[in-house]
Structure 1
Amino acid sequence: MEAHHQTLRSANALRVFEVAARSANFTLAAAELHVTPVAVSRMVSRLEDTLGIRLFTRSRLGVQLTEEGAVLHSAVSAGFAQMETALREIIRRRADRSTVTLSLSSGFISHWLMPRYARFQEAAPHINLRFEVISGVLRGDVDDVDLGLRLHDPARKWQSWAFFPEVVLPVCSPDYLHRMGAIDEPAGVRQHTLIHLTTTTMRWEEYGSRAGIDCRRPGHALGFSDSALVLQAALLGQGIALGWVSAVSGALREGLLVPAASSRPIRTGMEYRLVARPGSLREEVRRVLDWLVSEMQEDIATITRQYPVFLDI
């Protein structure tokens, strides 16, 4: 047993065996390894002696794997392939330290982050961003990303930083509001098109119940499984969408979307936080984190001045 452990720790012997088995020729193996054919033959013979089995049959025509040799070659080839993959990933990560990977909703990326991406590039010109996109509710692990935006979950052992409370309000384009009026006007919901997100933390019925508006029988309805498309439909004047302020603050700030009700937004009691797996943050990740928080704080200050309904958030 001890001899086997010593053999398995001899990566050089296994490497010579793998090349010899793949080449089916000791001379070709020697050329690949930059040694002599005699050195290859000796290394293979020592490995065979240690294991007490023949790995090759030898003849004037060359060498051929035995049944035991084929079994070992399959395992050794897979092992070296896995090691090569791991080494490439390590090298990629070290060379790619300037890239920060973010796990965010499609709506947040499309309608909050991308419109101000040029500002991010000015603030952090040497940092690249990569996105893992979530189309619906912000849930799931962040083990494979640098930062994620998630609803606060005390049970999770994440590092986390306050970003924005979960605040929901109906939003529409200024043109739609001018044509159709607010959702809480006397004419009621039946004249409006309500735009739905199919997987969400709050549906129109719940919003209406909490806001004192009967949203059960709209004039028309549109439904999407992707939050970015919900907001895009609202921006195009196709109806009224429920907007999570953490995603629509930029559009509200620029006047591309406006509140579609005179009532105050609904604060659910939940909170969105930027989260990361435990451990120290790279400087690049810290810079992205600080920039996101700063931009959101600036949005909050601006929309509070623009829209009195936000004074209580």
Structure 2
Amino acid sequence: MRRNIPSLQSLICFESAARHSSYTHASLELCITQSAVSRQIQQLEDFLGISLFTRTRHGVELTYAGQQYAKNVRPYLTGLEKMTSDMISHKGQGGTLKLGVVPTFATRWLLPRLHRFNVRHPEITVHLETSTKPFLFDDNIFDAAIYAGTQQQIDHWPGTQTHFLMQEDLVAVCSPQLIQQHFPDAIMNGNGSFDLTPSELIHLPLLQQTTRPAIWQEWFQTHQTEHPRPHDGQRHELFSMLSVAASHGMGMALIPQMLIEQELTTGQLVIVSSAKLQGSRSYYLVHAGQQSSPLIQKFTAWLKSELHPSSVNDLTDYCSALKD
């Protein structure tokens, strides 16, 4: 079925005339006659059923509808131009990868490592956008997404292909000052952590994650301990917010260790127990369709090499990972 869109030539003429407020300047920019520009814009106005320009003594002026249409059309023409340039330059092997990412993973884990992907694949430019909700691929806003969710959520994400990255394991952390306040005699392990029992940790204030209100109850029950008020405490949506609150002594939080390496290294946070919680969520790279593009294949292979360095330790392994 034919798409209900005007011709590309008429859109290009319209955008140029709108930018210059002149058919003459548009004709010079596009290397066609002024009458050709006028005909293309007339065809566009006939297609839309509205007037896009009004004539003035100094040329033409956009109508209100023309202003709105120009504002909406321009980014699509710019994007089409850039995608075409990428295709010509990289012959389909490079270009731009639009990636949706859950926020804390993006800022705490991915961005500090992304320069290594740039060195390995200078032909690919990665654009990131964050969201805590499942990403939609129908409008081609994203090429792929890194999403943290349950297997059930992934199974009910139609029309997508997923690549498992890693399990989300949570550790209990808080500020050293909070430990000193509640357990002044606690002895720190050689690795800079504590090994307090779940029954001892009942006495610490809790920090809750908004999207998982039963997480502390699950943690204590997993370790055969009944907490009298497992749902108490401040609630924050993101792990990054929880880590800030915890580092300022506001309570104890459950956070994936990989997302707080900097705080653990600087001593702003300490792990308070060796008892972990294997979360129900895992990290996946998700994209639409059943076949990965060369860009997604390269990015997926690089992600796996960063997460599991020993599994991609030479060129042969790396090339094999591209086909996974």
Q: Which interval holds the TM-score relative to the shorter structure?
A: 0.5 to 0.7
Larger deviation: 90-99 or 157-166? 90-99
Distance 2:237 2:111 in 1: 20
Residue pair 1:184, 1:213 contacting (<8 A) in 2 also: no
User: Does residue 92 of the first structure (1) align with residue 87 of the second (2)?
Assistant: no
The match for 1:146 is 143
Question: What's the offset of the Cα at 1:275?
Answer: 0.7
Aligned residues: 262
Query: Which residue does 1:169 correspond to in 2?
Result: 171
Partner SS state of residue 149, structure 1: strand
Q: 1:197 aligns with which of 185, 191, 209?
A: 209
Give TM-score, length-normalised by structure 2. 0.58
Cα separation, 2, equivalents of 1:145 and 1:225 = 23
SS in 2 for 1:187: helix
Structure 1 residue 112, shift from structure 2 partner: 1.9
1:292 aligns with: 303
Q: Which residue of 2 aligns with 1:311?
A: none
TM-score by length of 1: 0.60
Structure 2: which 5+ runs fail to align? 1-5, 58-62, 87-93, 187-194, 312-324
Distance 1:273 1:246, change over 3 A: farther
Q: Deviation at 1:90? A: 0.8
* TM-aligned CA distance change 1:76 to 1:108, over 3 Å: closer
Given the superposition, is the C-alpha separation of residues 174 and 188 from structure 1 closer, same or farther in structure 2, using an over 3 Å criterion?
closer
> What is aligned with 2:197?
184
- Supply the RMSD in Å over aligned alpha carbons: 5.0
Match of 2:320 in 1: none
1:196 CA drift (Å): 1.9
Q: Distance in 1 between matches of 2:180 and 2:206?
A: 16
Identity of aligned residues (%): 19
Secondary structure of 1:213's aligned partner: coil
SS of residue in 1 equivalent to 2:113? helix
Q: Distance in 1 between matches of 2:73 and 2:218?
A: 52
Unaligned runs of 5+ in 1: 1-7, 56-60, 63-72, 301-313
The residue aligned with 1:306 is none
1:206 and 1:114 mapped to 2: Cα distance? 31
1:93 aligned partner, one-letter code: M
Tell me, yes or no, if the aligned pair for 1:205 and 1:216 is still in contact at 8 Å: no
Does residue 144 of structure 2 align to residue 132 of structure 1?
no
Deviations, residues 132-164 of structure 1 (Å, cap 9, x unaligned): 123xx5533245223312224112221111111
User: Is the alpha carbon distance of 1:252 and 1:275 closer, same or farther for their aligned partners in structure 2, counting shifts above 3 Å?
Assistant: farther
Question: How do 1:187-226 and structure 2 match up within 5 A?
Answer: 187-190=200-203, 192-200=204-212, 202-217=214-229, 221-226=233-238
